[in-house]
Structure 1
Amino acid sequence: MKTIFRKTVVFFTWVLAAVALLAVGLFALWSYLCAPVDMAGNLRVERVVVPAGMSVRDVSNLLAEKGLVKSAGAFYYAARFSVFDRENPFCLRSGSYLLDTSMGMKALYRILQSGESENFSVVVPEGFTMSKIARLLEKDGVCSADDFLASCRKAELLEKYGIPAQSFEGYLFPDTYFFIPQMDSDAVVSTMAENFFSRIDSIPEMKGLSGEKLHNLVVLASVVEREYRIESEAPLISSVFTNRLRNGIGLYSCATIEYILTEIMGRPHPDRITYNDLKIDSPYNTYKWAGLPAGPISNPGLVALSAAAAPAETDYYFFVLADSETGRHVFSRNFDQHKAAENTGYYLKGY
C-alpha cells in the first residue's frame, strides 16, 4: 500500500513538474511574442491602413506581413479574447496608423483599438464639381476617383439622404476634411453629405423643405456659386435668376454652358463661349431652355446656398461683369440698361 502511495506521489510530482515547466515555457513564449520586434534599436516605421470593415484576422496578418508582430495568430487571439483589456472587448477602429517596430503587441493592440489614427486635411473648394472633387481625392490618396464617382451615384446612398437626383452633385459640401488614406468611398461621400445637411441647418429658409424643393434651391445655388465673386453680390445675382424663373425667362448663365462643355462633353475649359455653344441641345443649357438646369452644376458653399434660399428683393433681370479683377457686376432692370452697361470686352466678343 505504501509502495502504491509512494508511486502515486512521485507520478503527480512529475505531472506537476511537467505542468510547471509547460507553464513556464508558455509564459516565456508569450512574453517573446508580446515583445517588440525590434530589440536592437533598429527602429522601422510602417504605415498601417485599416479600412472600414477590415477583420481582426486580416489586420493581424497585415501586422505580421509588415514585420510589426512576431505572430499573426498571437495578435489575433489576443484581440479575439481581449487579453490585454478584459473589461473592454477589442474593437478594431478604421484609420491610418503610423506604427513602429519598438512597439510591443500590447501597445499595437491599444493603438488599433483607440482609433487615434493619422489623418490629413483635404480642402474642397467652393464650386468644385463632383468630378473635380474625385480627382482631388485621388491625388491626395483618399480613394480612387472611379470609386468616389461610383459611390456618388449609388441609389441606396441617395435614398438614404433623400436626394431626388441621380448623383450627389450639389450635396458635397465644400470644406476642409480630415480623411485617412485608402478610405472607403461610400464613407467619404457620406461624410461630405452629412456635412452639407448639418451646415444648411444654419439657413432658416431651408428648414423643413421637401426633398424636391430643397433640390431646386441646391440647383439654383450651384449656378449662383459659379457666377458670383464678391460675396455681397450673391443675393443680387440670385434675385436676377429668381425674377427670371418667376416670369418663365431663361437664366442665360454661361456657367451652365461651361458645365456642358467640360463635365458632360469632356472638353477642356473654354477660353470663351461661342454662339454655337449656346445652341447645344442639353437640358443644362439655360440659353436654350427656360427654368433651372437639369441638375446642380457645382457644389455650392453657404454664401451661394443662403443667396438661393433668400435672394435680395430687386427688380433686376440682368447683370454683367464690369470689373474682371474684382469680379464686380452691374445689375440692370431692362435690356436697354443692360446693353448700356455691358462690358463688350467680356461678353461674347469677336464671333
Structure 2
Amino acid sequence: MKLFFRLSIIILSILVVGIIAITFIYFYLQTPIPANKIAATELAEQSAVKQEEKPYILKVPAGKEISAVAFELEEKGLIRSADIFYLKARLEKLEIKAGRYSIKSTMNMSDIFALLKSGKQDHISVSIPEGLTASKIAKLLFDSDVILSKEDFLKEVSNSELLQKYKIPASSFEGYLFPDTYYFNPSMNPKEVIVKLVDNFFAKIDSLEISAEDMEKLHKTVILASIVEREYSREEEAPLIASVFQNRLNHHIGLESCATILYILTEIEGRPHPERITYEDLKINSLYNTYKWAGLPVGPISNPGAIALKAASNPPKTNYYYFRVVDESSGKHHFSTSLEEHAKTGRELNIKAAAGK
C-alpha cells in the first residue's frame, strides 16, 4: 500500500512538473524574439542617431490560410513557433480579416492576434503623378497593394453604368482619374478606387471654376488637357501650349502632337516606349493620330492635373501655331507664329548642336 502511495506521488509529481514545463514552453513560445545585440562598434556609430525599427508589413489577402500566416511570421523571425501560433489560433477560433498589417518585433503572439482580429489595417499612401494613363495607374496601385488585379481595375475603367452615373460621354474613365496623393485601404475593390479618383476630379474642377454642366464641352476640355499635360514641362508654358492647340483647332489644322503618337504606340499597340518617333509612325491609321486627322483625338491620352486642366479650359489669346523644345534640360519651348519661324528655330538649334553649344 505504501509502495503504491509512493508511486502515485512520484507519478503525480512528474505530471505536475510536465504540465508546468509544457505551460511554460507554450507561453514562452508566444513571447517576442529579442533583437540581436548590436556590436559595440555599431552601437557607437548609432549613438548619435536613434534609429526607429521598421515594422514588417504582413499582407493578408482574402482567403489566406492561418497556417500560411503562421509560417510567414516564423520565417521573418516575428514569432518563435508557427505550430504554437496555429494551435493558439485554433483554440481561440481566430478569424483573420484581410488587410495589410504592421507587425513589430516587440509584439507578442497575443498582440499579433489582437491586431489581426481588429482589422485595423495600415492605410496606404499613393501619389499618382500627372499625366499617367489608366494602365500605368493600374500598375502603380497594384504594386502598392491597393488593388489585387490590374485587369479588374481596367475593366472598371470601362464600366458603362458607372460612366453613365457621372454622365461622362466616353467609353472609359481615361482622363478623369485625377492625379493626387490618396490614402487607400489595402486590397480595395477597383470600383471603389475609381469612384474615389473620379469624385476627386469633379471636386478639383469645381475649385478651378471649370463647369461640369455641359459634359460634352467638359470632355473636350479633358481631351485637350490630356495632350497639354504630356507636352509641357514648365508650368508657365502650359497655357501657351494650350493656345497653340486651340488656334489650330479653330482653323481646322492638325494638332500634330507627338504625345498622341506615343499613346498609340504604347497604350493601343502595346509597344515599348520608342527612342524616337519615325515618319512611319506618323502614318498610323488611328483616330488618336493628330498628324493624320485634324481636330481632337477620339479620347484623352492621359489623366491631366490641375495646371493642364486650367490651361485647356481657358487658353490665352495668342497668335502661336507652333512650338518646339529649345532646352532639353529645362523643357523650355520656343513658340512661333509661322512655319517659317518654326523652321528657322529648328535650323538654329541644329547649328548649335553641331557646334557643340
| TM norm structure 2 | 0.70
Cα deviation, 1:36-66, whole Å, max 9, x if unaligned, reads xx84443498846477xxxxxx89x969986
Q: Tell me the residue number matched to 1:328.
A: 332
Report the CA distance between 1:159 and its aligned residue.
1.9
**Aligned counterpart in structure 1 of residue 31 of structure 2, from 32, 42, 63:** 42
2:201 paired residue among 196, 204, 209: 196
Cα distance between partner residues in 2 of 1:298 and 1:228: 13
After superposition, the Cα gap between the structure-2 partners of 1:291 and 1:97, relative to the gap in structure 1 and judged at 3 Å, is same
Q: Paired residue for 1:269?
A: 273
Change (3 A) 1:74 1:46: farther
Secondary structure of 1:238's counterpart equals helix
User: What is the rounded CA distance, in whole Å, between the counterparts of 2:131 and 2:312 in structure 1?
Assistant: 14
For 2:228 and 2:308, the matched residues in 1 are separated by: 6
Give the RMSD, CA atoms, in angstroms. 3.1
Pair 1:181–1:340, CA change in 2 (3 A): same
1:244 equivalent in alignment to 2:248: yes
- 3-state SS, counterpart of residue 102 of structure 1: helix
Q: Which runs of 5+ in 2 are unaligned?
A: 1-25, 34-55, 71-84
**AA matched with 1:42:** T
Determine the structure 1 residue equivalent to 2:129.
Answer: 125
Which residue does the alignment assign to 1:173? 178
8 A contact 1:322–1:343 mirrored in 2: no
CA distance in 2, matches of 1:329, 1:301: 20
Shift of 1:237: 0.3
Instruction: Return the alpha-carbon distance in structure 2 between the equivalents of residues 279 and 321 of structure 1.
Output: 23
Q: Which residue in the other structure is 1:102 paired with?
A: 110
Cα offset, 1:164, TM superposition: 1.4
Q: In the alignment, is residue 223 of structure 1 matched against residue 227 of structure 2? A: yes
Q: Using the alignment, how far apart are the partners of 1:215 and 1:307 within structure 2?
A: 14
The one-letter amino acid of 2:204's match is: R
Deviation at 1:339, TM superposition (A): 1.5
Q: In structure 1, what is the Cα distance between the partners aligned to 2:246 and 2:217?
A: 14
State the match for 1:17 in structure 2: none
Q: Distance in 2 between matches of 1:46 and 1:301?
A: 31
- Per the alignment, do residues 151 and 337 of structure 1 end up closer, same or farther by CA in structure 2, a change over 3 Å counting? same
Query: Structure 2 counterpart of 1:336, which letter?
Result: E
State the Cα distance separating 1:129 from its structure 2 match. Answer: 0.9
CA distance in 2, matches of 1:227, 1:134: 22
**SS state of the match for residue 100, structure 2?**
strand
* 1:72 shift after superposition: 8.7
Whichever residue aligns with residue 314 of structure 2, its letter is A
In the superposition, the TM-score normalised over structure 1's length comes to 0.71
Q: Tell me the equivalent position of 1:286.
A: 290
The number of aligned residues is 283
Q: Which residue of 2 aligns with 1:160?
A: 165
- Shift in Å at residue 272 of structure 1? 1.3
- 2:175 counterpart letter in structure 1: G
Match of 1:11 in 2: none
Aligned AA (2:169): P
- For the structure 1 residues 259 and 70, does the alpha-carbon distance in structure 2 shift closer, same or farther, using more than 3 Å as the test? closer
